[in-house]
Structure formats: C-alpha cells, structure tokens
Amino acid sequence: MSETAIITGAGSGLGRSTAVQLAEQGINIAVVDVDEEGGRETVEQVNKAGAEAIFVRADVSKLEDVKNYVNETVEQWGTIDYFFNNAGISGSGGYFLETDPEEIEKIVQINLMGALYGVRYVADVMVKNGGGAIVNTSSSAGVIGQDSVVTYSATKHGIIGLTKSMVAEYAKDGLRVNAIAPGPTETPMVKSYFEANPKMKESAEKGIPQQRLGTPEEVAELVTFLLTSKADYINGEVVRIDGGFTNTKS
C-alpha cells in the first residue's frame, strides 16, 4: 500500500519542491494551497515524478478548510503517513509599531492558527492509525529575534512550541514531530518580500556566512529526510538550514 503525505503551501516554493521529492519515492501527495493554479501545477509535477496527487484548495486559517483537506485525503487514500505543515506568509516587512492590526491578525491566523489546526486534525488521524511524521515550518526568525518581522517571528517561535509539546504528549503513540528553521531561501514568498524591501535582501546576504540564499530543493531534501523512516529516532528537534545565518547570532 502506497504511503500518503499532505503538504500545505504546496503550490510553490518549499511545498512544491518537497512534493516532488516525496513523489520520487512513490509517496502520494495531497497538494493543499489557496492558489489553485499553483496547486494544480504541483499536481502535474507530482504525476510526472511517478506518484498520485490530488489538489485541495484551502485557506489554512479557516478551520473548515483544514478539516476538509484532511477528510479529502483520507477519503482518497485511507490514511495520512506524512504531513509537511508549511503554509505561511511573511507580511509587509514594516516595523511593528507601524503595522496595522489587520495585518497582525492575518499573519497570526495563517502562520500559527493554520499550523495548529493542521496538526490538530492530521495528528488525530495519525495517532488513531498507529503514528506518523510531521514537519512544521518555522524560520530563522523562530530561533532568533529579527527586525521588520515581529509578528512573523512570534508565529514562528510558536511553531517551535507546538513541535516540542506535541512530542511530549504523543511520541508514545507513534507520532514524530520536528520543525525546520530555514534562513532566507529563494522562494516566491521571500523574493516578493525582498522586492518590497530591497535593503533587507542585501542585509540578509551579507549576514549569511555562506554568502548566498538557500534553495527550495535543499530545504526539501531536509524535510524529506525528517519525514521518512531514515529519521525514525529524530523527534522534537528544530533543524536550522540557513548557511550559518543564525549561528553567528545566537
């Protein structure tokens, strides 16, 4: 029986790259994204890589949408083995005291509440079926403080708390939950952020000891490793993948 993964934010970037790499291992993918065009393009790439895929449109900040992507995956394949809890937004990049409350709420709802909802309903299926593996997307801003991303940073610190506490409660039930903390990476979200804040890109590149941004494929390799049985005894960890960026600051 083929294994199955759900990936949120799978219409581009880290989600898409991970979907393709898991598909190359024969793992079926539920592609979840609010962007239908991007999501369906990912489905095509998964199919080309040799696995089955479905697209489920979802706004992860909405509880009913989260329940629906979980239900559709189970209806299609009967179980959920892996979950890359990845959907998120960065925000406008303004300083916190200049940020509208509406933007603060939107970032929190998508990045933190969306992740909490996802783990709540995916892990419920996994535990009932004997276990599974989850990777949550945190950030370099989830392990250190960074300016211009206060709300984003708060949500990504929250992702780490979610990761560690789920392990404390459910590792005994066969659940593995880890988090990744990417530094600046060449994803559409990061590119858009840097286009709106060009000084931030220059600052980020200078602050990375390896003197370059990461690639989605590099991050996807880490996620794929953490999800699969090769990482079976890694649990509750936050793995930084940032070219040494946070190593120089903490």
How many C-beta atoms lie closer than 10 Å to residue 241's C-beta? 17
How many whole angstroms separate alpha carbon 154 and alpha carbon 44?
35
* Tokens 């449109």, residue located: 57
Q: Please tell me the distance from the alpha carbon of residue 10 to that of residue 41, in angstroms, as a whole number.
A: 10
The Cα–Cα gap between 168 and 158 comes to 15
Beta bridge partners of 31: 7, 55
Q: What is the dihedral of CA 122, 230, 188, 193, to 10 degrees?
A: 90
Catalytic residue (one of 82, 117, 121, 152): 152
Backbone region of residue 38 per phi and psi (left: phi > 0; alpha: psi in -120 to 50; beta: other values): alpha
Nearest to 73 by CA among 44, 115, 31, 26: 31
For the question of residue 170 being annotated catalytic, the response is: no
CA distance 127 to 104: 33
Choose among 144, 143, 174, 185: nearest CA to 14.
Answer: 185
Closest CA to 1 of 78, 84, 83, 82: 78
Which residues have a catalytic role annotated?
Answer: 152
